């Protein structure tokens, strides 16, 4: 069974600092990987996805993620945090042969001025 682990349920960064959110997955086959963002009282919005093309994936709002098969990781980064980045972020995995997402527990990002 596949699973997703997000290290750190809460992350606090200063405005302008690097944002790094960690995601590790377990899967016996090459997966499809996603990062979603959830703003307060809203649903999830897709930030970016990895579907076995380039290992460095660029998403919306300046975020990017790198797929590292050897480390089974798909960490999300943004070089310079903005106040509007305060939200909860979810990593999710879907096996190529399946149609269901498995989500990590989420990481809530707080941006300090």
Partner 1 sequence: NAGVTQTPKFRVLKTGQSMTLLCAQDMNHEYMYWYRQDPGMGLRLIHYSVGEGTTAKGEVPDGYNVSRLKKQNFLLGLESAAPSQTSVYFCASSLTGEGAGQPQHFGDGTRLSIL
Site residues for partner 1 per CB under 8 A: 4, 9, 32, 34, 36, 41-46, 49-51, 90, 94, 96-101, 103-106
Least distance in angstroms from the C-beta of 25 to partner 1: 13
List the structure tokens of 18.
């690097």
Q: For residues 84 and 100, which CB has a smaller minimum distance to partner 1 in the complex?
A: 100
Q: For residues 51 and 72, which CB has a smaller minimum distance to partner 1 in the complex?
A: 51
Least distance in angstroms from the C-beta of 16 to partner 1: 29
Q: How far apart are the first and last CA of the chain?
A: 41
45: part of which helix (H) or strand (E)?
Answer: strand 44-50
Which residue from 44, 45, 48, 82 is spatially nearest to 63, judged by alpha carbons? 48
Torsion, Cα of 86, 59, 20, 66 (10° steps): 160
Q: For residues 16 and 98, which CB has a smaller minimum distance to partner 1 in the complex?
A: 98
Least distance in angstroms from the C-beta of 8 to partner 1: 12
């Amino acid at each position: 069974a596949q699973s997703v682990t997000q290290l750190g349920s809460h992350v606090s960064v200063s405005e302008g600092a690097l944002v790094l959110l960690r995601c590790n997955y377990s899967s016996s086959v090459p997966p499809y990987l996603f990062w979603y963002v959830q703003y307060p009282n809203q649903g999830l919005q897709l930030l970016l996805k990895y579907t076995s093309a380039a290992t460095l994936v660029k998403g919306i709002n300046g975020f990017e993620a790198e797929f590292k098969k050897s480390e089974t990781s798909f960490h999300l980064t943004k070089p310079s945090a903005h106040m509007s980045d305060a939200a909860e972020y979810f990593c999710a995995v879907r096996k190529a042969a399946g149609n269901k997402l498995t989500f990590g527990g989420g990481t809530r990002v707080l941006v300090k001025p």
